[in-house]
Amino acid sequence: MTATPPIELARRLARLSAALAAAAAAGDLDDVERLLAARAAALAERAAATPPGPAEAAELAGLGRAIEDADRRTRASLEAVVANLRGELARLGLGARAARAYLAADPVAPGWIDRRD
C-alpha cells in the first residue's frame, strides 16, 4: 500500500474542515459527528505520514490558514448551538418549577380525603 503524500492529506483535512464548518453552521449534528470522525482519521493518518518537503511549504501554509478559519467557524457555530440548548434547558426548568407549584404538598394515597374545604 502506497502512503498518501502529505500535501494530499492536508488538502483532505482542509476539505473535511470546511465541510465540518458548513454542517455546524447548518445545525446538522449527525453530519458534524460523522465529519469529526473522518477528520480524526485524517489527522491520525497525517501523524503517521512522512514530513512534507520544502516545495510544499507555501501551499501547506495556505491550507493551514483555511483549516484554522474553518475551525473558528465550527467553534462559533457549535458554541451558538450550546447557548441555544442552555436557553431551552432553562425554559424547561422554569416550566418544571411552575408545574411543581401545582402539586399537592401531601402525597395522595388510597383512602385520602380532602378535608381542606
Q: What is the CATH number of the domain that holds 20?
A: 1.20.58.380
Q: In total, how many domains does the chain have?
A: 1
Burial of 46 (C-beta count, 10 Å sphere; 0-12/13-18/19+): middle
| 62 falls within a domain | yes
pLDDT attached to residue 110? 62
Range of the domain at 49: 6-101
Q: How far apart are CA 31 and CA 19, in angstroms?
A: 9
CA distance 62 to 52: 14
Residue 117: which pLDDT band, with cuts at 50, 70 and 90? low
Largest CA distance in the chain: 89
Per-residue model confidence (pLDDT) at position 53: 82
- Residue 31 or 2, more confident: 31
In a domain, 116, yes or no: no
* 106 inside domain: no
Q: How far apart are CA 95 and CA 92, in angstroms?
A: 5
User: Is 111 a domain residue?
Assistant: no
User: What's the average model confidence in pLDDT over 98-111?
Assistant: 70
Residue 68 lies in a domain: yes
Q: Does 89 reside within a domain?
A: yes
Asked if the structure places residue 11 within a domain, the reply is yes
Among 52, 82, 50, residue whose Cα is nearest residue 64 = 52
> Mean pLDDT over all residues of the chain?
87
Residue 107 lies in a domain: no
Q: Residue 24, class by beta-carbon neighbours within 10 Å (0-12 exposed, 13-18 middle, 19+ buried)? A: buried
Which pTM was predicted? 0.71
